[in-house]
Structure 1
Amino acid sequence: MSIDLSPGTEVAELARRTAEFVRTVVVPEEIRHAGVAAAGGDPMRLNLQAAAKEAGVFAPHAAVEYGGHGLDMCGRATVFEEAGWSLFGPLALNIAAPDEGNIHMLEVIASSEQKERYLRPLAAGDVRSCFAMTEPAPGAGADPAALNTRAVRVPGGWRINGSKWFITGADGAAFAVCFARTSGEAGDRGGATMFLVDAENPGMKIVRHIDTLDKALFAGHAEVLFEDCFVPDEAVLGEVDEGFRYAQVRLGPARMTHCMRWLGIARRAQEIAVERAAERRLFGARLGELGMVQGMIADSEIDIAASRGLVLRACWELDQGEPAAQATAVAKTFTAEAVWRVVDRAVQICGALGISGDVLLGRYLNEVRPFRIYDGPSETHRWAIAKRVVGRQVRAAGGTT
């Protein structure tokens, strides 16, 4: 089996233009403002996205018929990494979570009517969305089967009741994709359904904003309550009771696009560190000539290259239509931890400068740390990775799992 890791000519050119756009248009906005809220919220988002459209780099992941470039997962890996050079870059290209994952999922699952009503304006950046799956304990989180939110059939549709939290981008979203149990009990591996819920639905309320380390995801994270929330039958996304299966359409690719974006930040942190190591002199030599610093720089280069390779391998499997559960789990776990190591080393190399506000490394530390928890904690992925490996061995030996 051979895998060509080089991007095609069109992808390479789009990545080049994306890099130029992010560095010249987006980075100055990131430097001027401490976060997306401080940058002006939705007007800032719309201005950056208009600039991305003018530069021809907007929505690289969306299908051409919805105004995008229609890149496959391997193509996205190259372009998304360039967009991730700035914390504001994914937002400018409309590839930030959760909208990017919802666009991908709606393209695959939504009906024709739902695509026109929800997907088209979302892909164009005219509206935002959220994905309401995670619940307060003991509900769905690292274990989605713990889903407690319930939807029951009523005349003309469904009534949803349940609490959600850590719902990224909920405030100001035009609609939510709500994950609710339609059969079985919490802990069952099936029986979930996804519903499209419009923001003006009186049964969906934002309870509070959750204060978190990270500030770069648009509108932050919210606690959301579904209370006697009625939705019509046409609000069902996909088929009833097939939500867990449909979720895999979103979760694996979304984990990889998170990795792609954060690799951009890791590369930028490494560049800051290397520039500092090359110019700073102490103990009679350049910082970068000291063995311990050289070791940190080398380890970061290894972490970035290894992460990129694992992501590309997982993306290749996804592009082949394979489940890629093992490959995405391995790539997500390694990359989440590697990105943290790269940024942390960059802070250490830069010393007092690294923890100051004169460079953005402190902000990057806050942003990348939650990635080891979001989209499945590292420990959960390690458990799943080992379970698959041991299960294969047991089956090969003629046993049962």
Structure 2
Amino acid sequence: MTGVGMEATLAIAERVERFVRDEVVPYERDPRRDHHDCPTDEMVAEMRRKARAAGVLTPHILADGRHLSQRETALVLARTGLSPLGPLACNTAAPDEGNMYLLGKVGSAEIKQKFLAPLVKGEARSAFFMTEPASEGGAGSDPSMMQTRCHLDGNHWVINGRKAFITGAQGAQVGIVMAKADEGACMFLVDLPDPAIRIDSIPNTIDSSMPGGHAVVTIDNLRVPADQMLGQAGEGFQYAQIRLAPARLSHCMRWLGACVRAHEIATDYANRRQAFGKALIDHEGVGFMLAENLIDLKQAELMIDWCADVLDTGALGTAESSMAKVAVSEALMRIADRCVQVMGGTGLTSDTIVEQVFREIRAFRIYDGPTEVHKWSLAKKIKRDWKVAQA
């Protein structure tokens, strides 16, 4: 992936940062929220109109369709993450960013025109239907447990099953649905809403940055034209792998930006707040927490850069993205926790975004694979590599 070069990328990143700090941050006080405190589609559309006018809408995909390299994307997405609303405003949020990447890589010309173009323009939201209810023995961290089935009927595929934790399903216009046929896993593009996809519930979750929440849905005899399958029957997991590592890393990029901002807020508080005759930062226990934040922020940044560099060689980067996801999510959790602690009671309130960042990072340790699943996967790789070395 060649990208546009660091000089041009830094210029894009600087424009994005100015926009997020000047235009998006004030929306953090906007009351237009749903029952789960997620921004409404009206509010998102308003922010995106401003982003489009400022030239920072979908900034990681250029007007000619070229995608920034992963290293370049990291610089830009971290800037969008400086506010929890930044990725929504700039159209770099999950799951849309990962879905755009996948469709740009493997979608046919027709699929790109029909499904990708509205996403890149910020005119539609999308959802990725893979996870299934754990209570029913469905697929979660182990996608091979997938129970949603599909079969060919004439020139349509018919899909039946249940899905859970489908981010953004409510209000999405584009769906990517995974199901299993006799040939193996399949992946389909679907127009939404569709009466055959019923939202059963949207549970309240600890995070609140993604419109549409994380829905539980039933898919009942959904008919999808055969030409809206990605690739061939049985290739679904192959395409999921193309999406997987970059999407993991994109989460790291965005939440790094959020923790940079949380650290800024905690630092300002510690320098202004007086206790026991001096500023909080002059108390070693507080100053050392902020110092540890700097160390973790830099380590997270370097881990992202290293993994991005691997992906830019064209490698799948499965192991590398697992390592990055574990290292970065755990480091960011430490940072968010320290920021709350430094600010004391104020850190527990919605007076700043610090408490939200804490909640969002806690959720990040679960989605795109819990820490323990990635460690288990890496341990399996260690064993495989050892066996090869003994042969």
Report the residue type matching 1:73 in the other structure.
Q
Q: What's 1:90 paired with?
A: 87
Match of 1:15 in 2: 13
Query: Which position in structure 2 is the counterpart of 1:351?
Result: 344
2:360 and 2:148 map into 1 onto residues whose CA distance is 29
Quick check: 1:88–1:216 contact (8 Å CA) kept in 2?
A: yes
* SS of structure 2 residue aligned to 1:391: helix
> Aligned residue for 1:269?
262
Distance in 2, Cα, partners of 1:345 & 1:127: 37
**1:37-61 deviations in whole A, cap 9, x for unaligned?**
7686222111111111111111122
8 Å CA contact retained: 1:310, 1:327: no
Give CA deviations for 1:262-302 in whole Å, capped at 9, x if unaligned: 00111111111111111222222221112211221111111
Conserved? CA contact 1:102–1:250, under 8 Å: yes
Amino acid at match of 1:318: L
Q: Which letter maps to 1:15?
A: A
How far does residue 228 in structure 1 lie from its aligned partner after superposition?
1.1
8 Å contact 2:38–2:211 — kept in the other structure? no
Letter in 1 for 2:48: Q
Aligned partners of 2:252 and 2:304 also within 8 Å: yes
Give 1:151's aligned amino acid: C
User: Higher mean Cα deviation, 150-159 or 350-359?
Assistant: 350-359
The SS at the match of 1:358 is coil
Deviations 1:326-384 (Å, cap 9, x if unpaired)? Answer: 11001111111111111110111111211123222222222221101000000000111
Matched, 1:143 2:142: yes
Residues 153-177 of structure 1: per-residue CA shift (max 9 Å, x gap): 1122211010001001111111210
The residue matched to 2:18 in structure 1 has which SS?
helix
Q: Distance in 2 between matches of 1:228 and 1:390?
A: 43
1:40 and 1:76 mapped to 2: Cα distance?
25
Specify the alignment match of 2:28 in structure 1: 30
d(CA) in 1 for partners of 2:34 and 2:104?
28
- 1:231 alignment partner in structure 2: 224
Residues 64 and 70 of structure 1 are in contact (CA less than 8 Å); yes or no, is this contact kept in structure 2? no
Aligned to 2:97: 100
- Could you tell me which residue of structure 2 aligns to residue 395 of structure 1? 388
Residue deviations 1:154-210, cap 9 Å, x none?
A: 1222110100010011111112100000126xxxxxx10001121143322111112
* Distance (Å, rounded) in 2 between the aligned partners of 1:259 and 1:131: 19
**What amino acid maps onto 1:55 in structure 2?**
A
TM-score, with length taken from structure 2: 0.95
| Structure 2 letter corresponding to 1:247 | A
Number of aligned residue pairs: 384
> Is 1:132 aligned with 2:145?
no
Partners of 2:38 and 2:213 within 8 A in 1? no
1:381 maps to a residue whose letter is H
Preserved contact between residue 162 and residue 219 of structure 2 (Cα < 8 Å): yes
User: Which residue number corresponds to residue 315 of structure 1?
Assistant: 308
Cα RMSD between the aligned structures?
Answer: 1.6
Partner of 2:186: 193
Structure 1: runs of 5+ lacking an equivalent: 1-6, 185-190
**Counterpart residue number, 1:385:** 378
Q: Tell me what 1:70 maps to.
A: 67
Is the partner of 2:261 in helix, strand or coil?
helix
Residue 282 (1) aligns with residue 275 (2): yes
Does the residue aligned with 1:392 lie in a helix, a strand or coil? Answer: helix
Structure 1 Cα separation of the partners of residues 166 and 121 of structure 2? 22
Compute the displacement of 1:35 (Å): 4.8
Contact 1:33 1:39 in 2 (8 A): no
Task: Please report how far the alpha carbon of residue 397 of structure 1 lies from its aligned counterpart in structure 2 after TM superposition.
Answer: 1.3
Measured in 1, the distance between the counterparts of 2:63 and 2:143 equals: 33
Question: What letter matches 1:243 in structure 2?
Answer: G
Aligned residue for 1:4? none
Distance 2:61 2:132 in 1: 29
User: What is the distance in 1 between the residues matched to 2:263 and 2:318?
Assistant: 30
Distance 1:260 1:33, change over 3 A: farther
Structure 2 match to 1:111: 108
Distance 2:82 2:194 in 1: 37
Q: TM-score scaled to structure 1, two decimals?
A: 0.92
**Gapped runs of 5+ residues in structure 2?**
none
In structure 2, the partner of 1:183 is 182
Q: Which residue matches 1:336?
A: 329
Identical columns (%):
40
Q: Which residue of 2 aligns with 1:47?
A: 46
